[in-house]
Amino acid sequence: MLGVVFFMLSFKDAVGSDFVSFLTGAKILESGNGENLYDFRTQFEYQKIVTKPLEENSLLPYINVPILALLLVPLTDLSLLNAFKLYTLLILVVVVSISLLVKKIFENLSSSYWLLLPFVFYPSIGSVFVGQITQILVLVLLLVYKFVRERKAFISGILCSLLMVKFQYIIFSIYIFILVKDRKKYLSGYLLGLTVILLISTVLTNGAFIKDYLNFVFVMQKPQFGIRAEDMFTLHASLSQFYLFSYSQLFMVNFFFFLASVGVFWLSVKRLSLDRAFLIAIIFTLIFCVHGVNYDYAISIIPIFILINKLKSNIGLEIGEKISLFILLMAPVFFVIQKSFYVSFLLLATAIFLIKEHRNNSIIEKI
């Protein structure tokens, strides 16, 4: 794996990765131009510097919070290729950490070949080599799962606030708010973490984060900025391919179904086991997060581990859970054959299976 990072990765790989946008944001902050971090022209000019000697006429926009760019500032002194190699190595360390944490959390997987799943699951390992930060989200969500199980609501809230690094996944925190027993502590931790992130982001951009961020993110979701619905698995992306709604109407339709999912989750959570409720929360998040490219599907590895852990226990899986596990594992096939359109509907079917079917004598402890 290290050989791939240091000898196989090329300048072409670096230029074609999402890391270009991250390094662009870091360059802007490093130069002291943070107030223009979410300015199209500024990003375009700095990205030309990042990708030299390549002449690019398009922009891969930086749409993350400033803190992520700040963390990457030390890499701005390196060439794009060397910075990309070091970044990829760091993400691989995160993948190893995920595997070790899975071994610690899931008692039935401590000596299983399934621990290698993060290294062979196409969306998971693929996200590493295209420069995405999805593995960081997987690690955060896995820690949320750990602390929710341990009933540490305050820490769970702080961890959920970290999802701001990829703004669209912040909706997950709403499901966890419903799931935890001590909602006051959860909310305290969440608001504390969110406040710190917002304050740092505001300082780094001289207030521009508050003024410009949401509008910039909304505008940059359009296809002309490299966001193709055909390469995403969300309900928003699938519905957009029917060409029945305007851009703003699509957001409203998706938001309506998201609210419906929150209502269903609220009504169902008391009769669900912790594990089942948590994996439903992740599946709903994947469906309704609006911007979910195929490599973001790596997040599904957590529901997969939850189901496999139960499969290898004395309880076993119910029919709906077996179907759900099969769908979750096989969904990447649709990415390979370029039929991502179907994935959101398959995930929705999975969520329905899991909500409707519940074994009353489950020994998994409820919250």
Full DSSP string of 50-98: HTTTS---S-----S-HHHHHHTGGGGGS-HHHHHHHHHHHHHHHHHHH
Structure tokens at 336: 């390979």
Burial of 335 (0-12, 13-18, 19+ CB in 10 A): buried
pLDDT of amino acid 367: 43
Contact partners, residue 291, CB within 8 Å, separation at least 6: 168, 221, 227, 232, 234, 236
Partnered with residue 232 across adjacent β-strands are 293
pLDDT of amino acid 360: 41
The CA distance from 62 to 25, in Å, is 6
The CA distance from 23 to 103, in Å, is 33
Closest C-alpha among 85, 78, 119 to residue 7: 85
pLDDT of amino acid 6: 67
Structure tokens at 94: 């995160």
pTM: 0.90
CA distances from 56 to 28, 84, 185 (A): 18, 18, 48
> pLDDT tens string for the chain (367 positions)?
666 666 788 888 888 889 999 999 999 999 999 999 999 899 999 999 998 887 777 788 899 999 999 999 999 999 999 999 999 999 999 999 999 999 999 988 877 788 899 999 999 999 999 999 999 999 999 999 999 999 999 999 999 999 999 988 999 999 999 999 999 999 999 999 999 999 999 999 999 898 888 888 877 766 655 567 777 889 988 888 887 777 788 889 999 999 999 999 999 998 899 999 999 999 999 999 988 888 999 999 999 999 999 998 888 888 888 999 999 999 999 988 888 889 999 999 999 888 886 544 344 444 4
Burial of 15 (0-12, 13-18, 19+ CB in 10 A): middle
The CA distance from 244 to 152, in Å, is 44
At position 119, the amino acid (one-letter code) is F
Burial of 364 (0-12, 13-18, 19+ CB in 10 A): middle
DSSP structure class, residue 1: -
End-to-end CA distance of the chain: 40
pLDDT of amino acid 366: 41
Q: Is 310 helix (H, G, I), strand (E, B) or coil?
A: helix
